[in-house]
A and B are shown apart, each in its own frame.
Chain A
Amino acid sequence: MTPPPAAVRTATEWLSARARWHPLEIIFWIAAFAAIYLFPARHLILTEIAWLGLFALSLDLILGYAGIISLGHAAFFGFGAYTAALLAKHEIIEEPVLALLISGCAAMTLGFVTSFLVLRGSDLTRLMVTLGVALVLRELANRYGWLTGGADGLQGVSVKPVLGVFRFDMFGHTGYTYCLTVLFILFLVARRLVNSPFGLALLSVKSNPLRSSAIGISVDARLVAIYTVAAGYAGIAGALLAQTTAFASLEVFSFDRSADLLLVLIIGGAGYLYGGLIGAIIFKFMQDYLSALTPQYWPFWIGLALVVIVLVGRDRITSWTTPIRLMAARLNWRSLARRSAERL
């Protein structure tokens, strides 16, 4: 029995709906690349946004898509950062792109090994385990000062030109273009990944692992895979920081960094890839603006914003935009409303 072609076509369309490019997405990326030429004076903060966005994207892959909460994602970020800094300092791999890939692979290896610790247990267990792993790494880096520079950080790193051509400069011009390009490529990969059967399987595991295994999905294998990939992303984000600042310190492993990252993702909303990027933009500009306003007390405002965001979207912590979408649906705002009402 073959179904009518029209039905198959409709189904194909719906199945591809998640993967379709929305005009707003295209505008987003054009704006990001246009900033290379439009805002040269802001390239330093934009560079930070780019690697933070990548770091948050990495957390979104495990939290938003697979439901693994982490308070120690800095472990992979820091591992990538130190790997990149050491490769450059000791002139082992001089070309930054290659060093970036190696740093990513190093972080992936660490992610793979530690993924087995987050397979079992509740959210609380996972918070503690991930937190613990990051603390252990930080102390290891502190203890082995001959390698890492200890509390002083790794001094004397000099990063060679990207692809042997583009020299890093103090204004972040090369840095931003470099970080944005890496972010864009890895975003495209993540976008394919979450819209594939593999991505659907992740969503299914997040929503009901019991049923996932009952349709033949190996839940553990999927979690290990995405945790490993996400660790690689985080490692590359850390390597970008190390390469653009020519420095790595213990702070890359810090608890604050992991906690801020969760904040970034919650600000932007988890589970739709752009959450981390938008969160990174809001977080960095808010931090920039507030710290200029009140150099000492800016975290107060960030904390307040967090409380408000979580209260507004309390039924679904991952998406504070829910009320806005609900309102849109109520106003019968057609094109948007139809999709969102069904998605809610």
Chain B
Amino acid sequence: MSVVLETISLVKQFNGIIASDNVSLQIEKGARRALIGPNGAGKTTLINLLTGVSRPTSGSILLDGEDITDLSTHKRVRLGVVRTFQINQLFSDLTPLETIGLAVSERRGQGLDWWRIVGSRPDLVAEVVEILERFHLTDVIDKRAAVLPYGKQRLLEIAVAIACRPRVLLLDEPAAGVHEDERHEILAAVAALPSDVSVLLIEHDMDIVFSFADRISVLVNGALFVEGTPEEVAHDARVKAVYLGEELVDA
């Protein structure tokens, strides 16, 4: 399968501390990749590097073979590298309708259109409603994001990203903090993501990881430690050791 997103020897140092250590990662078209690792393993750093929030100390990032290492976040989004956030990053004064409407307008390149109101384009509104329906947000379309129930906010968090029509979607703990009863709604939304979108999922919950991913990358101390199918990773003694907090045992 063709590689969509690729990192080559990505290194990020903060004041001498190595947060990403020579990470070379390849994500294929339509991949369902999980990225796991203990706290402080550098998962968020890697997401920040991929999305352009921070710049690598060395190494490069390729999208379809094109170097995007120096592109700013919004330009990468336009090329299809989109993320969600572990802690909700929503527009508290905007409703889901407006939030998605904004994201769709931007994606269509109508974001500078200052003379028309968002609601004046029927095809745009239809797309917005379709996304809101898919993420079970139709009952709260006119509520400010700040007053939405937490579960709905998490859904909106993913819906906004989908409205950008990602080619690579980076999901940062989509179900973080969501109550057990509402989890299935979010997991169903994640499972129903378009199959041609490559997904990189960061998650602590191993049930989610193993039900979702077709490949798993394990990050430890900023470096890629193990990569393989769920089967392989589950039976890898070194991974078990890391997760049990034990010393590494040579096989």
Contacts and interface: CB of A to CB of B under 8 A. Distances in A.
Co-assembled chains A and B: yes
B113 A8 contact: no
A24 interface: no
A200 B102 contact: yes
B229 interface: no
Interface string A1-43: 1110001101111111111000000000000000000000000
B233 to A, nearest CB: 29
A206 to B, nearest CB: 8
Contacts of B105: 197, 200
Contacts of B128: 11, 15
Interface string A185-228: 00000001101111111011001101111111111000001000
B58 interface: no
Nearest to B138: A7
Contacts of B133: 3, 7
Interface string B88-117: 011111110111011101110011111111
A11 B125 CA distance: 7
Interface in B188-207: none
Given A208-B89, A210-B89, A215-B77, A200 B94 contact: yes
A210 B51 CA distance: 11
Contacts of A120: none
A201 B77 CA distance: 15
Interface residues of A, number: 42
B93 A196 contact: no
A11 B119 contact: yes
- Secondary structure call for the B interface: helix
A196 B106 contact: no
Contacts, number: 152
A8 to B, nearest CB: 5
Contacts of B242: none
A218 B74 CA distance: 6
A215 B163 contact: yes
Contacts of B117: 15-16, 18-19, 192, 195-196
B101 A197 contact: yes
Contacts of A11: 97, 119, 125, 128-129, 132, 141
Interface string B67-79: 0000011110110
B111 A201 contact: yes
A196 B113 CA distance: 7
B130 interface: yes
A213 B98 contact: no
Contacts of A215: 77, 82, 102-103, 106-107, 160-161, 163-164
Given A215-B106, A215-B160, A343-B144, A14 B74 contact: no
Contacts of A195: 117-118
Interface residues of B, number: 56
Nearest to A5: B126
B120 A16 contact: yes
A13 B117 CA distance: 11
Nearest to B84: A214
A208 B153 CA distance: 15
Contacts of B93: 203, 207
Nearest to A2: B126
Given A8-B125, A8-B126, A214 B51 contact: yes
A213 B107 CA distance: 12
Contacts of B78: 216
B143 interface: yes
B89 A214 contact: yes
Contacts of B90: 208, 211
Contacts of B99: 204
Contacts of A10: 141
Contacts of B83: 214
B141 A14 contact: yes
Given A198-B113, A208-B90, A216 B125 contact: no
Interface string A35-75: 00000000000000000000000000000000000000000
B102 A342 contact: no
B101 A15 contact: yes
Given A3-B126, A8-B125, A211-B90, A200 B101 contact: yes
Given A14-B142, A193-B114, A216 B101 contact: no
Given A196-B113, A201-B102, 11 more contacts: A7-B138, A8-B126, A11-B141, A14-B119, A199-B114, A208-B90, A214-B89, A215-B77, A216-B74, A219-B74, A225-B112
Q: 3 closest Cβ contacts across the A-B interface?
A: A15-B119, A216-B77, A197-B105
